[in-house]
């Protein structure tokens, strides 16, 4: 898509960024001690902390990634919302109060409270760093996606901008400014998401979405066939010339044909049943590095926004409005939704991605199965079902093990305040995740989807209601990224300055030294995050976050749970559990088919690990390791009256 920046959007965006920087400047002079820098002195009110929890947790994955996945795949994208929310139950009932009692600044403080073990300090710090980096990737990718349509800048410029602002936030006032930025962002995100959903209901549903009359929906054409065999076809319209029949070269899995008319090249999908060709959209990457959109440059405007209903309750040309939360879902259920599939074709030295129409009954859009195959009658294998369960396990257990969430428990005065904050967070997060369903479905049927970047579905939906709404939603989304990235970098800073330098290496730094070390670490981690954000461009941010949850659930949660609820847990068991959970989760991810396809770009190879989500293997492995190692390293019993061991007796 060719994005044209709006002056109003730029003004509002700049206002948000200046406001965030002012908050950082305001709190900077108050942050003198390590407790103030890493934990806001433990004096944040529980209600503010609860909304800040939501602001920290509702990341780019929640707003951009989930809405994008729902827009492309319906209910399967909403499963991420369910998994993210369910994870807070674990945080509320198992982790919140005990962790506040044990900890001081970091996740490692809580694990090491009973042991003072070097191995725990080292492994917990490494785990915090790696999980934070994994979680940082999708946030930075989301930042780059936002800046392109808002400011007309390239993806890398957005990543650099977020990195620079966040480094200023964390580098000046630490947790205090980060908390208030997250509070402000969480509040605005929920308020304006509610407003956007209200607009969706007011507009209703139509088979010809035109973005409020501002952008005519492209009417995708069909061409009749007079003859069709396995290796040839004839068109009724003789003005088209057949250039390439991809079936001859690649077989039945590639039912596409390249045509030319008036020197304009187009690609069509063969519909054997109805004896016709259906217009597609396609992006071609040429050998010289340039990219063509439907055969022309991006500025030509040939690559259209998509997403519509082909019929509503059996009517092909229909509109219904206004709607309410129940009638909106009910009408989609009775409609036919035109979703879009994707096929990559190697064409000489160039690579073409073809996007083709895939009409889907509305009732299928509103239940699982379009991404995650669960029904054996529809071809779901045992591996598909294991992969789905593994993803849900990671989302359910990962929340309570994310380092940047865990350190927020230290910002309130008491364990009871930590519990109250969690309840506020669950209410705010639950409301927002319900809204993601309507925003995603709204984008799916409103003709606003950019097929080259589904992360932009929610902001582009807002744009269909006017520039002001787009500017506000995009600025809030940008603040969403800022808040989450700031929390992650702060967690990473604590791991390096407090856990590694002060405790593991024993440098015995002063309060001022700890704060300075944290600020320097924030700059370094921020630079790494910028590089990763640029490298992972165009991957759905929710999928990337799923991996971060899997690593956190595998490395951190078994250690937290067993420390709190199993008296025989030893320091050696905790350290071994973190190591095994971390390495097994990372190893399985790096060797999965999804990584081969999306990261290594080796989709023609079969990956050694069939599962794309590792938690179903790595989490039990981490628990088992902790139990076995702890039983093997139990301390010798000591006689209370004499202080001598049984062996000496």
Say if 356 falls within a structural domain.
Answer: no
Please report, rounded to a whole number, the percentage of residues in the chain having pLDDT higher than 90.
33
Q: What is the pLDDT of residue 649?
A: 41
Tokens of 603: 């989709």
Q: What is the pLDDT of residue 3?
A: 65
pLDDT at 256 over 50: yes
pLDDT band per the 50, 70, 90 thresholds, residue 449: very high
How do residues 582-591 score in pLDDT, each as one tens digit?
Answer: 999 999 988 9
Tracing tokens 């071809």 back to the chain, one arrives at 379
For 495, other C-beta atoms within 10 Å of its C-beta total 30
Q: What is the pLDDT of residue 30?
A: 67
Q: Between 80 and 348, whose confidence is greater?
A: 80
Q: What is the pLDDT of residue 31?
A: 66
Tokens of 136: 């940082």
Say if 329 falls within a structural domain.
Answer: no
CA atoms within 13 A on the CB side of 254: 20
Please report, rounded to a whole number, the percentage of residues in the chain having pLDDT higher than 70.
94
Say if 516 falls within a structural domain.
Answer: yes
CA atoms within 13 A on the CB side of 428: 27
Q: How many domains does the chain have?
A: 1
Say if 127 falls within a structural domain.
Answer: yes
How do residues 306-361 score in pLDDT, each as one tens digit?
Answer: 999 999 988 888 999 899 999 999 999 999 999 999 998 887 788 899 999 999 99
Q: What is the pLDDT of residue 628?
A: 96
Say if 243 falls within a structural domain.
Answer: no
Say if 115 falls within a structural domain.
Answer: yes
Q: What is the pLDDT of residue 517?
A: 83
Tokens of 609: 């690990």
What is the arrangement of strands in the sheet containing 256-261, beginning at the earlier edge strand?
A: 233-235, 222-228, 276-279, 264-271, 256-261, 241-245
pTM: 0.83
Residues 129/500, Cβ–Cβ less than 8 Å: no
* Residues in Cβ contact with 633 at an 8 Å cutoff, skipping those fewer than 6 apart: 570, 572, 573
Query: What's the CA angle centered on 151, arms 148 and 152, to 5 degrees?
Result: 55
pLDDT band per the 50, 70, 90 thresholds, residue 626: very high
Tokens of 573: 């068991």
Q: What is the pLDDT of residue 95?
A: 77
The rounded mean pLDDT for the chain is: 85
Which residue from 317, 325, 310, 68 is spatially nearest to 202, judged by alpha carbons?
325
Q: What is the pLDDT of residue 1?
A: 61
How many angstroms separate the most distant Cα atoms in the chain? 103
Q: What is the pLDDT of residue 292?
A: 92
Residues 583/632, Cβ–Cβ less than 8 Å: no
**What stretch of H or E contains 595?**
helix 593-598
Q: What is the pLDDT of residue 646?
A: 47
Distance CA 537, CA 194 (A): 29
Alpha helices in 445-466, H assignment, sequence order: 457-463
Q: Between 196 and 502, whose confidence is greater?
A: 196
DSSP-derived letter for residue 255 is -
Q: What is the pLDDT of residue 72?
A: 94
Residues 486/178, Cβ–Cβ less than 8 Å: yes
pLDDT at 103 over 70: no
For the chain, what is the radius of gyration of the CA atoms? 26
Residues 430/399, Cβ–Cβ less than 8 Å: no
- Among 213-227, 321-335, 477-491, 546-560, which stretch is predicted with the lowest mean pLDDT? 477-491
How do residues 601-618 score in pLDDT, each as one tens digit?
Answer: 787 788 898 888 899 999
Which residue from 372, 424, 421 is spatially nearest to 395, judged by alpha carbons?
372
Q: Is 384 helix (H, G, I), strand (E, B) or coil?
A: helix
pLDDT at 536 over 80: no
CATH code where residue 472 lies: 1.20.1730.10
pLDDT at 452 over 60: yes
CB-count exposure of residue 591 (10 Å: 0-12, 13-18, 19+): middle
What average pLDDT does range 40-48 have in this prediction?
84
Say if 528 falls within a structural domain.
Answer: yes
Distance CA 235, CA 221 (A): 14
pLDDT band per the 50, 70, 90 thresholds, residue 16: confident
Helices 175-203, 467-494: crossing angle, 10 deg rounding: 150
Say if 549 falls within a structural domain.
Answer: yes
Its domain, for residue 394, covers: 42-204+385-632
Alpha helices in 29-154, H assignment, sequence order: 34-39, 46-57, 60, 67-73, 75-90, 96-102, 107-111, 118-151
Distance CA 104, CA 113 (A): 9
């Amino acid at each position: 898509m060719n994005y044209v920046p709006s002056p109003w959007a730029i003004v509002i965006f700049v206002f948000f960024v200046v406001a965030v920087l002012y908050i950082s400047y305001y709190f900077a002079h108050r942050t003198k001690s390590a407790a103030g820098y890493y934990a806001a002195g433990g004096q944040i009110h529980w209600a503010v902390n609860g909304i800040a929890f939501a602001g920290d947790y509702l990341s780019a994955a929640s707003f951009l990634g989930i809405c994008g996945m729902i827009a492309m795949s319906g209910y399967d994208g909403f499963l991420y919302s369910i998994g993210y929310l369910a994870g807070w139950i674990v945080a509320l009932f198992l982790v919140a109060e005990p962790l506040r009692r044990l900890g001081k600044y970091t996740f490692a403080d809580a694990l090491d409270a009973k042991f003072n073990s070097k191995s725990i300090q080292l492994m917990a710090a490494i785990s915090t760093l790696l999980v934070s980096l994994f979680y940082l990737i999708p946030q930075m990718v989301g930042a780059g996606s936002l800046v392109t349509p808002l400011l007309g800048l390239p993806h890398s410029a957005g990543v650099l901008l977020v990195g620079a602002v966040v480094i200023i936030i964390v580098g000046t006032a630490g947790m205090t400014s980060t908390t208030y930025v997250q509070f402000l962002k969480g509040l605005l995100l929920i308020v304006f998401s509610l407003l956007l959903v209200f607009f969706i209901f007011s507009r209703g549903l139509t088979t010809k979405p035109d973005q409020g009359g501002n952008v005519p929906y492209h009417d995708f054409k069909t061409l009749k066939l007079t003859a069709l065999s396995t290796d040839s076809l004839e068109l009724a319209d003789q003005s088209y010339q057949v250039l390439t029949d991809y079936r001859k070269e690649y077989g039945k899995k590639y039912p596409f044909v390249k045509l030319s008319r008036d020197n304009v090249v187009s690609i069509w999908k063969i519909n054997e049943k109805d004896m016709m060709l259906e217009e597609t959209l396609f992006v071609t990457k040429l050998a010289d590095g340039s990219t063509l959109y439907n055969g022309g440059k991006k500025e030509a405007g040939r690559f259209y926004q998509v997403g519509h209903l082909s019929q509503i309750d059996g009517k092909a040309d229909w509109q219904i409005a206004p709607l309410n939360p129940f009638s909106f879902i009910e009408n989609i259920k009775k409609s036919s939704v035109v979703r879009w599939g994707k096929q990559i074709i190697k064409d000489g030295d160039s690579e073409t991605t073809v996007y083709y129409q895939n009409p889907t009954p509305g009732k299928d859009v509103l239940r699982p199965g379009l991404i995650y195959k669960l029904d054996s009658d529809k071809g779901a294998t045992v591996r598909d079902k294991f992969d789905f369960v593994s993803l849900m396990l990671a989302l359910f257990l990962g929340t309570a093990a994310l380092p940047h969430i865990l350190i927020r428990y230290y910002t309130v005065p008491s364990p009871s305040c930590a519990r109250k904050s969690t309840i506020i967070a669950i209410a705010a997060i639950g409301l927002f995740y319900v809204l993601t369903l309507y925003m995603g479905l709204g984008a799916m049927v409103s003709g606003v989807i950019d097929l080259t970047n589904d992360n932009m579905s929610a902001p582009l939906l807002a744009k269909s209601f006017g520039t002001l709404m787009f500017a506000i939603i995009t600025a809030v989304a940008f603040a969403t990224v800022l808040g989450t990235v700031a929390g992650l970098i702060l967690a990473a800073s604590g791991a390096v300055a407090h856990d590694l330098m002060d405790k593991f290496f024993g440098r015995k730094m002063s309060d001022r030294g700890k704060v300075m070390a944290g600020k320097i670490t924030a700059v370094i981690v921020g630079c790494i995050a910028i590089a990763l954000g640029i490298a992972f461009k165009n991957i759905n941010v929710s999928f990337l976050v799923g991996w971060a949850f899997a690593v956190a659930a595998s490395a951190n949660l078994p250690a937290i749970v067993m420390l709190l609820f199993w008296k025989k847990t030893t320091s050696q068991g905790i350290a071994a559990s973190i190591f095994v959970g971390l390495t097994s989760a990372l190893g399985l991810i790096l060797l999965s088919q999804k990584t081969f396809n999306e990261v290594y770009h080796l989709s023609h190879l079969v990956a050694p690990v069939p599962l794309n989500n590792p938690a179903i293997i790595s989490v039990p492995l981490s628990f088992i390791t902790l139990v076995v190692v702890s039983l093997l390293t139990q301390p010798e019993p000591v006689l209370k009256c004499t202080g001598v061991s049984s062996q000496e007796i």
